[in-house]
Chains A and B, each alone.
Chain A
Amino acid sequence: MAQYLLRRLLLIPPTFLGLTFLVFVITRFVPGGPVERMIAEMQESAASSGQDAAQIDLDEEQIAQLNEYYGFDKPIIISYGIWLGRVFQGDLGASSRYGDPVAEIIGSRLPISIFYGVTSMLITYFICLPLGIFKAIKHQSVFDNLSSSLVFIGYALPSYVVAVILMVVFASHLEWFPLGGFVSDDFEDLSRWEQVKDLLAHAVLPLTAYVSGSFAVMTFMMKNALMDNLAADYVRTAMAKGLSFRQAVLNHAFKNSLIPLATHFGNNISIIIAGSFLIEKIFNIDGFGLLGYESILERDYPVVMGILVISSLLQLFGNILSDICVAVVDPRVQF
């Protein structure tokens, strides 16, 4: 096991290097980079300053100066090397839009995304596991069919549509919940108890939108795995030996059915922080998803790369974590 993990860990660096290099190269060849964006903006908004700037064309020297400012003046491989060197020192560079350190920007968004990610994952597990078990036991009953339909509707509806509908109905029309944001503006002035209430009130709608789609996969994974196990010989044997059905399910089948869910767990780690930029945009939440989307749209390459570093590392370690989880629930697994 230890050896296997070591081997897996050793494979992380080459993957990480390949990935970051690939994306780094792409950023160089994309039209509409920061320099071009600046040129376009200047020409278009010349009117705002009243100057006839639309008539000013830059010469090559001046464009070179801009390229230097944005760090586009060196060959790809060298700038990649510089970037990588900084990353190893824990420096992700500065955002080309905000001028702030990327780590700081990401750090300020991370708690929000982790809150939503962890909560929605907990909710999903807490609802899906019991539901899946119940559905497996009552396979093809009315309850099974009905809940299947409901879960599928949630699955089929894009989460952004759910978000818009929730917001219009419950926040705008019925006014049960606040319109958006992570917490209220006067959050710092509230008592501890009010803070919790405030946070939860803001979280209900976005969380509903987040989890509505994820029930289906979890529930069915649980249900199918449990049904497979219930059909397996060892459960039959156990019952033949006089174990009650309830005991058979809870003591034997359930534990083994967790294996596929455990495999899934590692993937969830990276999903936790990925968020959905559309939900975040609709509810005005400053999360990770929105940051990523905006940085791509605005060609804020340092932030794009910074997010990539964090998310790919989480993904790579998450995969290993999955393996460990599987090993924990399934002692037969040999590495």
Chain B
Amino acid sequence: MTFTNFLRLIILSTLSSASVLAVGVKEIPNDIVWQTTDPVKEGLIASPKAKRGGSFNDYLRSFPLTLRQVGPDSNGSFRGYMDENDVSLLVRHPNTNAWLPGIATHWAKDKNGRTMYYRLDPQAKWSDGKPITADDFLFMLELYRSPHIVHPWYNQYFTDEVEAIQKFKSKDGKDLLAVTLPKPKPDLEYFTNFRPFPKHFYKLDKNFVKAYNWKPPPTSGPYYIDKVRKGKTITFKRVKDWWGDKRPWFQNRFSFDKVQFQVIRDRNTAFEYFTKQKLDYINLNYPDLWHERTNTPDFLSGRIKRLWFYNDRPRYDYVLTLNTKHPIFQDKRVREALHYSMNVDKVINQVLRKDYQRLQAISRGYGDYTNETLKARPFDLKKADELLSAAGWTKRDKNGYRVKDGQTLEATLTYRDASVAKRFVVLREEAKKAGFNIKLQLLDSSSGWKYFRDGKTEIAYVVWATFHRPQYWSQYHSSNANKTQTNNFSNLADPELDKLIESYRASTKHEERTKAAQKIQKFIHDAAVQIPLFEIPYFRVGYWNWIKFPKVQATKESDTLKYFGLSTGGLMWLDKEQKKKTKAEAKQKKPGQPIIEKNETFRRKT
């Protein structure tokens, strides 16, 4: 039985015992306190100098497989651009983390700890002019639970994790919404903050998947998909008189009239397009791009500016996970020795141009949830030798690898991204010095993931995506260990850890949770199952100088240059005069000074 089925059982049993309440709430209680926030007080992020107009050009590595936001193949990278143009009930302030009004102007928490109430903005409209109503939210739940979308994960999540969404009317005739979860949760706003689906647009039946493959839906945000040339380009257009324009939080933002995407498959080709002014910006996160490819006249004369922006957000867990079931890693001393044999600093300092930082442990960048006392084990052959000798690996074979009882100290490192191979090549050669034989195995993305989940890995290179809070259950709980098809790649199973994870999940109190999270991190660090690798505390882009920004170009949360996104995006605008001037200057190859803007507003002091 999977955990979620188990959960479902519990939910069912609790529901039947509280038979008075079928689903959701009966009515809106009188004693709730409606609240709202003033974005001006929280601090606006846009610049009043911003001018509307013009178009912005970006590229896609591949054409999206569908324009549906649910269902098969809807999970491509393009989906993100569409989602960013859907307004949810609330919007998060990227710098202060405060909740701001979205489609809801006010919100309130029920005493039961699992219901949130929202008051909808009657001004809110879809891009086709139809008003956004509570029915669109009810339809959202219906859609996510429907088998017609062929998306079992959504079906299951919205069945298990949402009990009901109900609509009410306030006395002054505004739409009210009650979102009820099956059980109390911490961060209730976060788990009830849904987006509407345009009910008038969708017809939910057997043909859903095929019918909406290429039909761009109306949006609630500032842009909608206007033109699609299959396989070539997709154009977003600004909504005229968007309802959000009256809201202070959205003012002076989303300035471009058009945002155009063209398909360019090759990363190097895209860079060439950028230097030929066919794209307005390019991502320069890779050290080789930032340092090697920026010696063209336009970069050197400052017509292309470079932005190096430090952010402060949950960091990806860039880790090598050691499988504790692998014969040599059963011994914790060997795992620790491998930590000490990984010369990550050499990779950072001599290959990655000191641009990255060493990731010190998992769950970095979560504020109070992060255990800052943990430090990654440095490259230390002496310590590795002590540990390995103590574990009985004293002899070396003719190649210099350690042996014990006819067994070689070797393990296979599996990775799924060819571009990181060079980092492992260096780590491998350095680990040789400690007597480890690290073999490298490259698998393609999806079969590699399956291989990980089958529990076959010895050392797995994984980059764990971040949630708004750290998550531990699926990766570290014993109920996921020693089974196939789970995320516990290390097969760590320890009653003490289980207890910590369970208390972390059950608690709704901030202090209890942060303490538990920090303890979990400490436990995992001590168990030596995750070798933390890299941390990139910033994003870097190159852009043509006709794109203008507010003084602080992005937000604490921004991980790239964003023209979309209600929380962090749409801060820049086009200076048409500058564009003419720059184009003329580029033709003449007019000399100038290179411009690198380094913004450390949100840089964490270490």
Chain A–chain B contact at Cβ < 8 A = yes
Which residues of A come within 8 Å of B, CB atoms? 31-32, 34, 36-38, 40-59, 62-63, 65-66, 69-70, 94, 96-100, 108, 167, 171-172, 175, 179-180, 185, 281-284, 286, 290, 294, 297, 299
Cα of A100 to Cα of B269 in the assembled complex, Å: 28
Asked whether B65 is an interface residue with its Cβ less than 8 Å from the other chain, the reply is yes
Q: Which residue of B210, B276, B446, B453 has the most chain A CB atoms within 10 A of its CB atom?
A: B446
Q: Do the beta carbons of B153 and A179 come within 8 Å of each other?
A: no
Q: In the complex, what's the smallest C-beta–C-beta distance from A37 to chain B, in angstroms?
A: 4
Is the pair A32, B465 in contact by a Cβ cutoff of 8 Å? Answer: no
Q: Is the Cβ of B157 less than 8 Å from the Cβ of A56?
A: yes
Q: For chain B, give the interface size range.
A: 35 or more
Smallest CB separation, B444 vs chain A (Å): 7
> Does residue B2 face the partner (Cβ distance < 8 Å to A)?
yes
Interface residues of B in 415-474 (CB under 8 A from A): 444-447, 449-450, 453, 465-468, 471, 473-474
Q: A residues within 8 A CB of B467?
A: 46-47, 50, 52
- Which of B75, B156, B213, B233 has the most CB atoms of chain A within a 10 A radius of its CB? B75
| Residues from chain B with Cβ under 8 Å of A48 in the complex | 75, 79-80, 83, 465
* Partner among B4, B83, B447, B487 whose Cβ is within 8 Å of the Cβ of A43: B487
Q: Are B152 and A50 in contact (CB under 8 A)?
A: no
Query: Judging by beta carbons under 8 Å apart, are A65 and B4 in contact?
Result: no
Min CB–CB distance A169 → chain B (angstroms): 12
How far is it, in angstroms, between the C-alpha of A299 and the C-alpha of B445 when the chains are bound?
12
Interface residue? B164 (CB, 8 A): no
Number of cross-chain contacts by CB at 8 Å: 136
Contact, CB under 8 Å: A32 / B466: no
Asked if B150 is at the interface (CB within 8 A of a chain A CB), the reply is yes
In angstroms, Cα B263 to Cα A281, docked, is: 11
B450 and A98 contacting across the interface, CB-CB below 8 Å = no
Contacts of A38 in B (CB 8 A): 72-73, 75
Decide if B450 touches A40 in the complex (CB within 8 Å): yes
Asked if residues B73 and A62 are in contact (CB atoms below 8 Å), the reply is no
Name the residue in A37, A56, A59, A286 with the highest tally of chain B Cβ atoms < 10 Å from its Cβ: A56
Q: Are B233 and A57 in contact (CB under 8 A)?
A: no
Write out, one digit per residue, whether chain B residues 223-245 have a CB within 8 A of any chain A CB (1) or not (0): 00000001111000000000000
Select one of A47, A56, A286 contacting B153, CB under 8 A. A56
Known: A31-B450, A98-B65, A284-B269. 13 other contacts (CB 8 A): A36-B446, A36-B447, A36-B450, A46-B467, A47-B467, A52-B471, A54-B487, A56-B157, A57-B3, A63-B152, A167-B269, A172-B272, A284-B264
Q: Does B502 contact A (CB under 8 A)?
A: no
B269–A99 touching, CB < 8 Å: no
CA distance A240 to B155 in the complex (A): 89
Q: Can you identify 6 A-B contacts, CB atoms within 8 angstroms? A: A40-B449, A40-B450, A41-B75, A55-B471, A59-B2, A99-B65
**Would you call A57 and B2 a contact (CB within 8 A)?**
yes
Complex Cα distance, B152 from A183, in Å, reads 42
CB pair B152–A65 under 8 Å, yes or no, is yes
Give A47 to B463 CA distance when docked, in angstroms: 12
> CB distance A108 to B153 under 8 Å?
no
A100 CB contacts on chain B under 8 angstroms:
213, 230
Which B residues lie within 8 Å of A284 (CB)? 263-266, 269
Contact with B465, one of A44, A282, A294 (Cβ below 8 angstroms): A44
A38-B72, A41-B446, A98-B65 are contacts. A58–B153 as well, Cβ < 8 Å? yes
Contact B450 A32 (CB under 8 A): yes
- Residues on A with C-beta less than 8 A from B450 are 31-32, 36, 40
Q: Quick check: B152 and A43 within 8 Å, CB to CB? A: no
Q: Are B157 and A51 within 8 A (Cβ)?
A: yes
The distance in angstroms between the C-alpha atoms of A66 and B149, with both chains bound, is 11
* Chain A residues within 8 Å of B269, by CB: 167, 179-180, 282-284
Question: Known: A54-B471, A55-B473. Contact between A40 and B446, CB under 8 A?
Answer: yes
Residues of the A chain whose Cβ atoms lie less than 8 Å from the Cβ of B73: 38, 96-97, 99
Q: Does B485 contact A (CB under 8 A)?
A: yes
Q: B66 interface residue, CB < 8 Å from A? A: yes
> Which residues of the partner chain B approach A69 to less than 8 Å between Cβ atoms?
72, 150, 209
For A179, the chain B residues whose CB sits under 8 A away are: 269, 272-273, 276, 278
Taking the closest CB of chain A, its distance from the CB of B221, in whole angstroms, is 16
Within 8 Å CB of B278, what residues of A?
Answer: 179
Chain B residues close to A by CB (< 8 Å)? 2-5, 62, 65-66, 72-73, 75, 79-80, 83, 147, 150, 152-153, 155-157, 161, 190, 209-210, 213-214, 230-233, 262-266, 269, 272-273, 275-276, 278, 444-447, 449-450, 453, 465-468, 471, 473-474, 485-487
Enumerate chain B residues within 8 angstroms of A172, measured Cβ to Cβ: 272, 275-276
Quick one: which of B80, B272, B485 has the most chain A CB within 10 A? Answer: B272
Shortest CB-to-CB span from A53 to chain B, Å, is 5
Cβ–Cβ < 8 Å partners of B266 in chain A: 281-282, 284
Cβ of B66 and Cβ of A99 under 8 Å apart? Answer: yes
Contact residue among A53, A65, A171 (Cβ-Cβ distance under 8 Å from B157): A53
Residues of A within 8 A of B447 (CB): 31-32, 36
Q: Which residues of A contact B72 (CB under 8 A)?
A: 34, 38, 66, 69-70, 96
Provide the bound-state CA to CA distance between A179 and B275, in Å: 11
A47: chain B residues at CB < 8 Å are 465-467
Assess whether A58 is in contact with B449, with CB atoms less than 8 Å apart. no
- B444 partner residues in chain A, CB cutoff 8 A: 32, 297
Which of A36, A54, A63, A69 has its CB near the most chain B CB atoms (within 10 A)? Answer: A54
Instruction: Give Cα A316–Cα B147 distance, bound, in whole angstroms.
Output: 44
A287–chain B nearest beta-carbon distance, Å: 11
Expressed in whole angstroms, the Cα–Cα distance for A54 and B263 within the complex equals 30
- With A and B bound together, what is the CA distance between A285 and B446 in angstroms? 26
The answer to whether B468 touches A50, judged by C-beta atoms less than 8 angstroms apart, is yes
- Roughly how many angstroms separate A42 CA and B74 CA in the complex, as a whole number? 10
The residues of B that contact A299 with a CB separation of less than 8 Å are 446
* CB within 8 Å for A99 and B446 given contacts A42-B153, A282-B269: no
Question: In the complex, A40 Cα to B446 Cα: how many Å?
Answer: 6
Instruction: List, in ascending order, chain A residues with CB within 8 A of B487's CB.
Output: 43, 54
Nearest-CB residue, chain A, relative to B193: A50
Cβ contacts under 8 Å, B161 to chain A = 51
A63 contacts across to B, CB distance below 8 A:
152
Complex Cα–Cα for A175 and B275 (A): 12
B156 touches A45 (CB 8 A): no
B244 CB to closest chain A CB (Å) equals 21
A97 / chain B contacts, CB cutoff of 8 Å: 65, 73
Which B residues lie within 8 Å of A96 (CB)?
72-73
Q: How far is the CB of A48 from chain B (nearest CB, A)?
A: 6
Q: Would A62 and B156 be within 8 Å (CB), given that A32-B447, A172-B272, A284-B269 are in contact?
A: yes
Asked whether, in the complex, the Cβ of A108 is within 8 Å of the Cβ of B231, the reply is yes
A47-B465, A55-B4, A56-B4 known; A66+B152 contact, CB < 8 A:
yes
Cβ distance B85 to chain A, nearest Cβ, rounded Å: 14
Q: Which of B2, B3, B4, B465 meets A45, CB within 8 Å?
A: B465
In order of increasing CB-CB distance, the 8 nearest A-B pairs are A47-B465, A32-B447, A62-B152, A40-B449, A37-B446, A32-B446, A99-B213, A40-B446
A65 touches B209 (CB 8 A): no
Residue of chain B at shortest CB distance from A64: B152
Contacts of A99 in B (CB 8 A): 65-66, 73, 209-210, 213-214
**Chain B contacts of A98 at CB under 8 A?**
65-66, 213
**Chain B residues with CB under 8 A of A36:** 446-447, 450
Minimum CB–CB distance for A32 against chain B, Å: 4
Contacting residue for A55 out of B75, B83, B465, B474, CB 8 A? B474
A62 B155 Cβ-Cβ under 8 A: yes
Contacts of A175 in B (CB 8 A): 276
How far apart are B525's CB and chain A's nearest CB, in angstroms?
21
CA distance A94 to B65 in the complex (A): 12
